[in-house]
Structure 1
Amino acid sequence: MTDRSPAPAIADAPARTSPDPGDRPVTELARLLGSRALTSTDLVTACLERVTAVDPVVRAVLAVDDTARAQARAADHRHAAGHPLSPLDGIPVLVKDNIDTRGLAGTAGSRLLAGAPPDRDAKVVARLRAAGAVILGKTNLTEWGNFRSTRSIEGWSAVGGQTRNPYDPEYSPWGSSAGSAAAVAAGMAPLALGTETDGSLVCPAGVCGVAAIKPAFGTLPSAGVVPISVVQDTVGPLASRLGDAALCLAVLTGRPLPTAPAPPETVRMGLWHVPGMSPVAQDVAERAAERLRDAGAVVVPVALTLPRDMLVDGLDALCAEFRPSLERYLSSRRGAPATLEEIVAANRQDPVELGLFGQELFERCAALTDEDRALAPDRRRRSRQRARELLAAVLADHGVDVLMAATGGPAWRIDDGPDPFTRTSSTLPALAGHPNVAVPAGYTGELPLGISLFGPPLLETLLPYALLAERCCGERRTPVVLRNASLPRNPR
């Protein structure tokens, strides 16, 4: 994309504040932009300079939008005239590259979509633009949202290579919203959008030390998003602070969200130790629970087992939903393959695409019959209803308002083999279609770990508890990539 917009005239600007894209809350950046102590042009320039400085190591940004500075100048003009469009006007945002942006990337990490970019914005991107946000660029992801293979490598795509964890580039950023989480952690932008089907927002947030909101299903539109399942996929924001992610979501939905933590003396939380999860992650969740108790909250252990039939129904439904969801999307893309079978065949001819892992999930989904797909609605309905009933029952049986659990992790060392199997707490709220919020909770060595909060069906109910958990548990450290500018470049 080419920046051809003329610079608007802005007169009588006061002395400017030096921007650091990762140092200030978005609410403060918005106030500084409104007072013209900071310009969007300076903020965007600082973000682009950060991308230049650290992305050769982190490899989170797949494409930079050449119009970013023009967008910033337009925002500065609006602020100078006293007519900002929203609290996000002039704020840089990075967008996961399975979310369409007109004329820019739109690959889902696959070389098969790397030709002609999308002709129009996804609906959620159109809302960002209407709010005045600056689309800074696109972030790398686990290819096809990590639905190509059961032995995939998180944060890797054939287009973007391997995204790395800003806290230690030898370690994984998880995924599939790997680039969005890593970029925010490394201060390349104050906000990013990602997507989740099961864990793809909260898991990378947890191991990259940032906050993420997976809203309830349907909160944000999914039109223009490369799908896995149009009845489970969810778009959500990531930010260094939960309040910033909540502000972004409030602007995109047009409805206010709570900004104050719940009074700790009114809070009852259930601590779920997920069976089979890493003891290191469980220990971080236990320490978070102790901090909440010290603040006055009641935190009690809860027992919870996910029924196998619920999980089988959910996976069978997902596989049956994938092909029609994807092919409906592909029909909107110029030069893209038209069918899943075409994608499978083209991948078999491409040694880069299949050089590190296969496509057995694609092959499984392509082999399903019309009869298999006809069963998907009932399987989806059963799985969702069972998950919702389970959440409601555990909250009621233990007399708690919300559940808390380690998100998953810790991050693992990157190599050329498949990633280790890692238990998470994300599947139950994902199947239920309920919101799930991840916040930083601690560290193992230099590597962050997060906790997730979920249970209630409404984010408005959940968010004050998550804000309290962040306030009590959200220790912050500077990522190593920002402390050491001479890290070796280790491409893959």
Structure 2
Amino acid sequence: MNFQEYSAKQAQRQASQEHETLRRPLDFTPFEASLAGLDAEDWQAQETLMLERTAAELSELQAGGELSAEALTRLHLRRIRDLDQGRFNSVLELNPQALNDARRLDAERQAGQVRSPLHGLTVLIKDNIAVAGLHNTAGAAVLRSAVATADAPLVAQLRAAGAVILGKANLSEWSNFMTEDSVNGYSVLGGPTRNPYGPFDVGGSSSGPATATALNLCTFAVGTETAGSLIYPGSQNALAVLKPSRGLISRRRIIPITEAQDTAGPMARTVADLALLLGALVGHDPQDPVTQAAQGFRLPDTLDANALQGKRVGVILPEDFAPELRQKVEQGLAAAGAVAVPLTFEEPELDWLGVMLHGMQRDLPAYLRDAGAPVTTLAEIVAFNSEHAEQHSPYGQTLLEMALDPERQVTDEAYEAARTQNFERATGALDSALEGVDWLLSLSNELSGVYSAAGYPALTVPAGQYSNGEPFGVTFVGPLLSDAGLIQAAYAYEQATQARPALPAHL
């Protein structure tokens, strides 16, 4: 099955309403009075002022008194109500305090206190990242009643930066490690997330944050990735999305697959917005030792549209990629001043399954215990789903069952050996490909299994559309902790190509 066939099959299944019986309706009760306060003309004026604005522009409008955090939050809540519910299914839960938080931030601004460039901007959080007072479910029925008692460190950092947490976003259930027959963007609690650009695969597992950001339901969003779960939905929804170097962002209070590869990352409509959001997410967490890598990390002070001038970019595109699209990508590099160097990349053999099974056997139960979840073992999850399989696991749970299988148990020693081998093979393959070039460029999540095992950063940026209108992105890959340079490279490509397609007119 080629990519177009795969995408069409996924989109067909995502269009189905067959398995939406447990989808939780969004609660707009706390916002009804505010949403009723504007007439159609007022709403149109608000949309004209705010939609498709960059984060910097929205911040400038607030600084100049033309816009408030409350008005921005209210507009995004209205768009969620009118566009998303039961249609795109990108939002799983709303923060009932969102408008109150926005009003408090407006009062701070009026008093001369501006926390950061994120002050008064809205963020949606993937529903495997803890937000105090909201559910944290991974989209699973067994965690339907699980409410986070504390923020994940990255969420606490966003609040400290003055961001308005709008709510939680839908995802592929258990971040796409539930069944081999998975539907990207589907969870039993959220239903199927859908692509706003048309009947195309939405991508997964950070599907909800991607669709919501593309639809202008938020300023930007935070997703997670183990292998492709940020980059693929970013590419499918024409976004700028970074899978950061392992260790830049704390993973504490995030429902895991495996500590070897899990990371959160920023999802935005532009590279500049992505960089702004990343600045609030990066940080050393003493309780997550791998984040020592974040100490001393610096984002570029300014973004440079000439950052690719004279740079050599190793181009790794599939053999069946349409020649006219390949030419378009290479022309984009040339327009940015880069030299395209065609490369052949042989992917190393990696034991990704063993690493992920170990994570589900060890890391997931540890999270559930620490979070005070209603279940604390994989066996309880599988048994719960099996009791009412048609509702709780309509597409099966073969991967969860595999992780529970006595013959598939992965010892700590076997895990460490597999993780080390994966890391060495992945870094060896990427470092070899990087010899003689400054960056690698691939299609969408084509190299996700390799860069994720290496812990290297990857950044996707819109590059065009297939003949049927389906968006695609190209993904820049660089060495460990080269995130700042990667952002500059992607920004230069974005500015030279301006390839992000407009949404359908009715959205």
TM tier relative to shorter chain: 0.7 to 0.9
Q: Is 1:441–1:450's contact at 8 Å kept on the other side of the alignment? A: yes
Q: Is 2:240–2:459's contact at 8 Å kept on the other side of the alignment? A: yes
Alignment-mate amino acid for residue 232 of structure 2: C
Alignment-mate amino acid for residue 397 of structure 2: Q
Partners of 1:352 and 1:175 in 2: CA distance = 22
User: Residue in 2 aligned with 1:415?
Assistant: none
How many matched pairs?
Answer: 449
Q: 1:266 aligns with which of 295, 305, 310?
A: 310
Within a 5 Å distance, the mapping from 1:387-426 to structure 2 comes to: 387-396=426-435, 399-408=436-445, 424-426=446-448
Displacement after TM superposition at 1:354 (Å): 5.2
Partners of 2:169 and 2:374 in 1: CA distance = 20
Is residue 466 from structure 1 mapped to residue 505 from structure 2 by the alignment?
no
User: Residue in 2 aligned with 1:87?
Assistant: 117
Q: Is 2:239–2:500's contact at 8 Å kept on the other side of the alignment? A: no
User: Residue in 2 aligned with 1:414?
Assistant: none
Q: Is 1:247–1:257's contact at 8 Å kept on the other side of the alignment? A: no
Q: Structure 1 length normalisation: TM-score?
A: 0.87
Q: Is 2:235–2:461's contact at 8 Å kept on the other side of the alignment? A: yes
Within a 5 Å distance, the mapping from 1:23-42 to structure 2 comes to: 23-42=52-71
Displacement after TM superposition at 1:359 (Å): 1.2
User: Residue in 1 aligned with 2:461?
Assistant: 439
Q: Is 1:21–1:190's contact at 8 Å kept on the other side of the alignment? A: no
> Could you say if the C-alpha distance between residues 262 and 462 of structure 1 is closer, same or farther in structure 2, counting changes exceeding 3 Å?
farther
Q: Is 1:321–1:373's contact at 8 Å kept on the other side of the alignment? A: no
Q: Deviations over 1:215-239 (max 9, x none)?
A: 0011100111000012210100101
Partners of 1:371 and 1:34 in 2: CA distance = 54
3-state SS, counterpart of residue 184 of structure 1: helix
Q: Is 2:443–2:475's contact at 8 Å kept on the other side of the alignment? A: yes
User: Residue in 2 aligned with 1:328?
Assistant: 366
Partners of 1:332 and 1:3 in 2: CA distance = 31
Q: 1:136 aligns with which of 166, 172, 186?
A: 166
User: Residue in 2 aligned with 1:234?
Assistant: 263
Partners of 1:433 and 1:297 in 2: CA distance = 25
State, as a whole percentage, how many aligned pairs show the same letter.
34
Q: Deviations over 1:183-220 (max 9, x none)?
A: 00011011100000000001001011111011001110
Is residue 455 from structure 1 mapped to residue 497 from structure 2 by the alignment?
no
Please say which of residues 373-382 and 468-477 is displaced more in the overlay.
Answer: 468-477
Alignment-mate amino acid for residue 76 of structure 2: C
> Could you say if the C-alpha distance between residues 285 and 114 of structure 1 is closer, same or farther in structure 2, counting changes exceeding 3 Å?
farther
User: Residue in 1 aligned with 2:343?
Assistant: 302
> Could you say if the C-alpha distance between residues 21 and 315 of structure 1 is closer, same or farther in structure 2, counting changes exceeding 3 Å?
farther
Q: Deviations over 1:344-384 (max 9, x none)?
A: 11111123445531111111112256663431012101111
Alignment-mate amino acid for residue 150 of structure 1: E
Q: Structure 2 unaligned runs (5+)?
A: 1-26, 35-44, 284-296
Is residue 167 from structure 1 mapped to residue 197 from structure 2 by the alignment?
yes
3-state SS, counterpart of residue 223 of structure 2: strand
> Could you say if the C-alpha distance between residues 263 and 131 of structure 1 is closer, same or farther in structure 2, counting changes exceeding 3 Å?
closer
Partners of 1:428 and 1:233 in 2: CA distance = 14
Within a 5 Å distance, the mapping from 1:157-196 to structure 2 comes to: 157-168=187-198, 170-196=199-225
Partners of 2:321 and 2:179 in 1: CA distance = 27
Partners of 1:366 and 1:286 in 2: CA distance = 47
Alignment-mate amino acid for residue 126 of structure 2: K
Within a 5 Å distance, the mapping from 1:206-355 to structure 2 comes to: 206-253=235-282, 256-258=298-300, 259-274=303-318, 279-280=321-322, 284-308=325-349, 311-312=350-351, 314-353=352-391
3-state SS, counterpart of residue 332 of structure 1: helix
Q: Deviations over 1:317-340 (max 9, x none)?
A: 221122211001101334521100
> Could you say if the C-alpha distance between residues 74 and 462 of structure 1 is closer, same or farther in structure 2, counting changes exceeding 3 Å?
same
Q: 1:105 aligns with which of 135, 144, 162?
A: 135
User: Residue in 2 aligned with 1:120?
Assistant: 150
Q: Structure 2 length normalisation: TM-score?
A: 0.84
Q: Is 1:22–1:190's contact at 8 Å kept on the other side of the alignment? A: no
Partners of 1:134 and 1:76 in 2: CA distance = 11
3-state SS, counterpart of residue 195 of structure 1: strand
Q: Deviations over 1:233-280 (max 9, x none)?
A: 0100101001101111112226541222344332110100246xx635
Q: Is 1:439–1:474's contact at 8 Å kept on the other side of the alignment? A: no
> Could you say if the C-alpha distance between residues 251 and 262 of structure 1 is closer, same or farther in structure 2, counting changes exceeding 3 Å?
farther
Q: Deviations over 1:393-443 (max 9, x none)?
A: 1111xx1100001115xxxxxxxxxxxxxxx22121111101110100001
Q: Structure 1 unaligned runs (5+)?
A: 8-16, 409-423, 486-492
State the superposition RMSD in angstroms.
2.2
Displacement after TM superposition at 1:29 (Å): 1.2
Q: Is 1:284–1:441's contact at 8 Å kept on the other side of the alignment? A: no
Alignment-mate amino acid for residue 296 of structure 1: G
3-state SS, counterpart of residue 149 of structure 2: coil
User: Residue in 2 aligned with 1:488?
Assistant: none
User: Residue in 1 aligned with 2:417?
Assistant: 378
> Could you say if the C-alpha distance between residues 263 and 459 of structure 1 is closer, same or farther in structure 2, counting changes exceeding 3 Å?
closer
3-state SS, counterpart of residue 226 of structure 1: coil
Q: Deviations over 1:9-36 (max 9, x none)?
A: xxxxxxxx94555411101111222232
Within a 5 Å distance, the mapping from 1:4-83 to structure 2 comes to: 18=46, 21-56=50-85, 57-83=87-113
